[in-house]
Each structure stands twice: as structure tokens, then as C-alpha cells.
Amino acid sequence: MEQTLILATVLLGAAVIAVPLAARLGLGSVLGYLLAGVVIAPLIGAEAAELQHVAELGVVMMLFLIGLELEPRALWGMRHRLLGLGGLQIGVTTLLLMGLFMWLGQPWQTSLAIGMIFALSSTAIVLQTLDEKGLMQTSGGRNTFAVLLTQDIAVIPMLAFLPLLALRSPVSINPDGSVTRGIETVETAHHAMSLVEGLPAWGVTLVTLGAVVAVIFAGVFLTNPLFRYIHHSRLREMYTALALLIVVSIAALMGLVGLSAALGTFLAGVVLANSEFRHELESDLAPFKGLLLGLFFITVGAGINFDTLFNDIYRILGLTLAVILIKGSVLYVLATIFKLKHRARWLFTLGLAQAGEFGFVLIAFSLQQSVLTQSLGAELLLIVALSMLVTPLLFILYEVLSKRIKSETADHPEDEIDEKGTVIIAGIGRFGQVVNRLVQSNGFSTVVLDSDLKTVQLMRTFGFKGFFGDPTRPDILHAAGLDEASVLVVGLDSKEAAVKLVKYARLHNPDLHIVARARDRVHVYELYEAGANDIVRELFDSSLRAGRYVLENLGLTEFEASEAEMSFYHHDRRILRDLAEVWDPKTPIAENNAYIERAKAANRDLESALTQTLDEAERKATRGSDSPAFRHASKR
């Protein structure tokens, strides 16, 4: 018991120290976990391998949650990327790496097995990093996910094909047609139990298909009744227990029939994607997934055998670099063929250039089937681990390159602006779109500028004219009529670009009325100092409306809640103007004593003003519901 607690303390302590430090240095959480594993490897010793089997549940849960986000229709829509991009990546990479190891003197059977092992990338590390960096929904992120999904599916035929490459087969065929494996060592045994052991080939096929059908059947017909049964218990922990039961039982079933547990749970996730309990499953499993994935990364770092590495360091590092370069070259060529642009191409290339966690599974299975020798297997495990360790650094390289390369729209010439309007709208996102439609629907002309080509093209699809160009460029602003315009609307996403635009517009047209969108209070002060007339804070108005609904449901009448909302609105605007006078861009707000004191005083005034407003509203309400103010508030 004490030994288990000490081991848990070491693991959790290493993660708590290393991961926040790595994140603060901009290295990402994955590299923090890997380095923590390297540091504590002497402390956990031989238990790292056993821990890894438990930690692989993190990968299983991750793919289950990914499946929950997809529907069968979404998978069908990805078929071209799955079969084309993913299939070509696996096939070409396998053949090239097979050629490399044949050149190094390995038999063709062994070389082919090595090629398949290294063709797979790390689903766990890549998806975790894409999610952390907000790159999952980019073009490069979606194509990367498609290839990872193809690789996970490809593990099944690889496991079926590897025994055929055995240099000395441990498999014997009995007179009745059944299959018997040779004696397995403790190190190479992969499954102690199996539902397909000793079955003829047709029996293995039937049992495997039966397991898949059982997962689909249970997902469609049994999950919802089970959740409703649990719901009547009124015990929150039962939801978590059922979610874990679903994942663990499917993983165990897949293991018993020789399939990938991760792929089986992914299939179950897809089946449950339309379930009414999908979000419940996601919220229950997310904490376990994060912790187990972290443990998995720690065990990968701890599993690096430095004795093997230092005995032949140049060869091991050279082979690791060769694997990354060959995979990267294949990925870059495929990204070019499939017309991925600029940043997406580099994200796709650098994100998938490593080997992956399924490589550990294939290496262990290849050792069991005598496809690899023990010494070669140890080297391959080391290469896989080292390439995974390098992956966060490849993402950092991507970030450096993405800042230097041109954007996807840089090759498209900016539009020639051939008209001027009384209103210039800079930025046509969700904010600018609404403003533009409202102004145009009332008969006023607008000139819309945006630096996102796709957004401008989408506008034109729906019949709204816009011009592609950088709104902060002086020549574009003047071409749009800055000198004659009456109003400038600033809806740019970049805070710095918005302030820059306001300053320039105010300098060159002092009479211009500038309406600007602000991200937060500090951005309000910056825009106010730059010369904006009206500043609209994101979510402020919608938050006020939500607060009004809360007051109404707490017992206030619609009229009283409306009056409280308007009082807060006007008071907050006065507070902002007052605080802007004491705001100092060189001093953090938490250290600006004058700002803090004035803010405290303003909050006290606000409480008094709201109390007075509610008293007046109550008096007005008692005069009858026919008052104009009451009728106006009721219509809001």
C-alpha cells in the first residue's frame, strides 16, 4: 500500500512541477509530461511498463470522445481525405522506410514491418497539442486528424498481416484446422486471455465481426435505457461509473478478439454521437482522459532506455532523424498534391512527422511473432520514444515558420476600391456584419473592408459587396473615402490593429465619428485615448439583457428590471469615462491606486443609484400599467 502511494506521489508531483513550467516556457504540456517521465525514470524503474498499460486507457478515452464529436455522415464526408491522403501517407511512408532498412541490411520482411511501425504517428500527442493551441479547426488540423484516424484504422490490418512476416513462425496448424501459438515469454505476451485463440480462420473472423456488431448494437439499443435507469438513482457518481464501464468494457472486448481497443471505443463514440446523453459522457470522461493521457506521456518519457541510447548514440539519433525527415518529406509532398496552403501545409508536415504510441503495440506484437529480434525491438522502441519526445519541438518550429511565411491570402492581389461611402466598415466578422446590414437596410451606403479573403468572398455569395484589403493601410483607407466619410466602424479582431486604425483615422479626419468594438475595459481605454467616439464592448449588451432576465425571474417586474438595466448601462458608461482619466497604460490596473480608489467609489455610487432607480420604478408601476414608460418596457 505504502509503495503504491509513494509511486502516485512521485508521478503526480512530477506532473504538477514539470507541466506548468513547460507551459509557461511555451513548450506545451506534452513536452512537460515527457520530460517529467525522463527525470523520474530511476524512481519508478520497471513499473513504467506496467503503468503504460493502464495509461493507454487515456488514449482509448481520447478516441472515444473524438468519436462522440463525429457522426457517420461526417465520416462519410471525410472519405476522400481518409482514403486518399491518409492511405497514401501510410503506403508511401511504409515503402520508403522499408527501402531504408533494407539498405541497412535488414531482411525485407523485417524492413516491411519496421516501415509499417514508423508509418504511424502519435494520435495522443498530436491531438492534445492541436487542441491546446487551438489548431484543430484549421485546414491543417482537420487534414491532420483525418490522417491520424486512417492510421488508427490501419492498425487492424497491420496486426493481421505481421504474422505473415515472421522469420520463424511460432504458429502451428492442427489437423482440425485450428491455430495454436507457440509458448510466449512474459516479455512478449500481449494478451493473457483471448476469445480467438485456437479458432480456425473463419471462426476468428466471425468472433471479430460479432464483437464489432455487439458494440454497435449496445450503443444503439442499450445505452439510453441504461442512462435512464441510472438517472432514477439520483446519484451523480453513477453517471461517471457508467461512462467508465462503457469505455473499459469495450476496450476489454476488443482486446479479447485481438482488435485495437482505441479503434473499438472510437467506433462506439461515433455510434453514440447522436445520443441524448452525449454531453454527459463527455463531461464525465474528460478529467480521466486528461490524467491518464498525462500518465501515458510520463511513461513514454520514463521508458527511454538511455543505456541502449548511449551504447550507439549516433546510430540511434541518426535513424530517428531519418524517420522524421522521410515522413516529413512524404507529408509535405502529399500536402502540396492535395493543395494545402502555406501554414496548413507546414502544420500537416511537422505535426505528423513522428512515430506514435501504436508503434509500441506493433513492436511488442512483432517480437511475439518473431518478426523482430529482441535487440532490434529495443532500438525501435527507443526511436519511437525519441521521435515522440521531439514532437512538441516540431510544433514550436511550426509556430516560428508560420510567423515568417505569407498568409494563405498573401498571393491574392488586394481589390481595387472603386467606390466611396458615407460609412466605412473595417472588419466584417459577426460584429461588422450586423452593423452593415442594419445601416444598408436603412438606405445608407457602406464600404466594407476586410483582410480575410474567404470572408469577403462569402459576403459576395450572399449579395453583399466588400473589398479585400488591409483596413489599416493608409492607401486603402483613403481609396475607400476616409477624407469624406461621416462614420468609421472598427470591428477588427486584433486589438493592436484596431487602436492603430482609430489613431490614423482621427489624425487625418478630425470630424469623423468613430464607432469601435472593444474586447475588454483596457481596450476601451486604449480606443478612447486613440480618439474613438462610441466604444462597444463585446458581450456587454447581451450580458445586460441576460442580467435583466435574471432580475425578472427573481421577482422584479419587467418594468423594474428594465429600469435597473438602463440605470446600470448609463452608470457604467459614466464610470468608464471617469476611470479612463486615471488609467495609465504603463501601470497595471492592479497597481494603479488612483484607479482602484475611483473604481471602489464608483461601485458604491452604483449601488445607491440602482436602489434609487428601483424605488422610482416601483412608484411609477403603482400608477398603473397604462403609463408610456411601462408600455415601452413591456415591449422590450
The predicted-structure confidence for 572-605, as pLDDT tens digits, reads as follows: 777 777 777 777 777 777 777 777 777 777 666 6
Q: Please determine, for residue 634, whether its predicted confidence score (pLDDT) is greater than 60.
A: no
Q: Please determine, for residue 619, whether its predicted confidence score (pLDDT) is greater than 80.
A: no
Helix 47-68, helix 278-302: angle, nearest 10: 150
Secondary structure class of 313 (helix, strand, coil): helix
Calpha distance 559→383 (Å, rounded)? 70
Cβ burial of 404 (10 Å; 0-12, 13-18, 19+) is: exposed
User: Given this model, what pLDDT does residue 209 score?
Assistant: 80
The residue among 25 and 613 whose pLDDT is bigger is 25
Q: Please determine, for residue 171, whether its predicted confidence score (pLDDT) is greater than 50.
A: no
Calpha distance 634→342 (Å, rounded)? 54
Calpha distance 275→393 (Å, rounded)? 39
**What 3 state SS string does 461-530 have?**
HCCCCCEECCCCCHHHHHHCCCCCCCEEEECCCCHHHHHHHHHHHHHHCCCCEEEEEECCHHHHHHHHHH
Which of 169-173, 288-292, 542-546 is predicted most confidently? 542-546
What lies within 8 Å, CB to CB, of 164 at 6+ separation is: none
The predicted-structure confidence for 240-256, as pLDDT tens digits, reads as follows: 888 888 888 888 887 78
Q: Please determine, for residue 343, whether its predicted confidence score (pLDDT) is greater than 90.
A: no
The predicted-structure confidence for 542-578, as pLDDT tens digits, reads as follows: 788 888 888 888 888 888 888 888 878 877 777 777 7
Q: Please determine, for residue 185, whether its predicted confidence score (pLDDT) is greater than 70.
A: no
Mean pLDDT along residues 279-305: 75
Q: Which long-range contacts (CB under 8 A, 24 or more apart) does 461-470 make?
A: 464/436, 464/437, 464/440, 466/428, 467/414, 467/415, 467/417, 468/409, 468/412, 468/414, 468/415, 469/414, 469/415, 469/417, 470/414
Q: Please determine, for residue 98, whether its predicted confidence score (pLDDT) is greater than 90.
A: yes
Mean pLDDT along residues 345-372: 82
In the numeric block, which cell numbers belong to residue 517? 468594438
Calpha distance 266→156 (Å, rounded)? 13
- Entry pTM: 0.55
Secondary structure class of 614 (helix, strand, coil): helix
Main-chain phi, psi angles of 595, to 5 degrees:
-65, -45
pLDDT-based confidence at residue 112 (cuts at 50, 70, 90): very high
In the numeric block, which cell numbers belong to residue 558? 419587467
What distance, in Å, lies between the first and last C-alpha atoms of the chain?
64
Provide the mean pLDDT of the chain. 77
Closest CA to 144 of 345, 293, 322: 345
Mean pLDDT along residues 37-49: 74
User: Given this model, what pLDDT does residue 168 score?
Assistant: 54
The residue among 365 and 28 whose pLDDT is bigger is 365
The predicted-structure confidence for 118-155, as pLDDT tens digits, reads as follows: 999 988 788 878 877 777 767 788 888 888 888 877 87
Q: Please determine, for residue 184, whether its predicted confidence score (pLDDT) is greater than 50.
A: no
The amino acid at residue 85 is: L
User: Given this model, what pLDDT does residue 115 score?
Assistant: 93
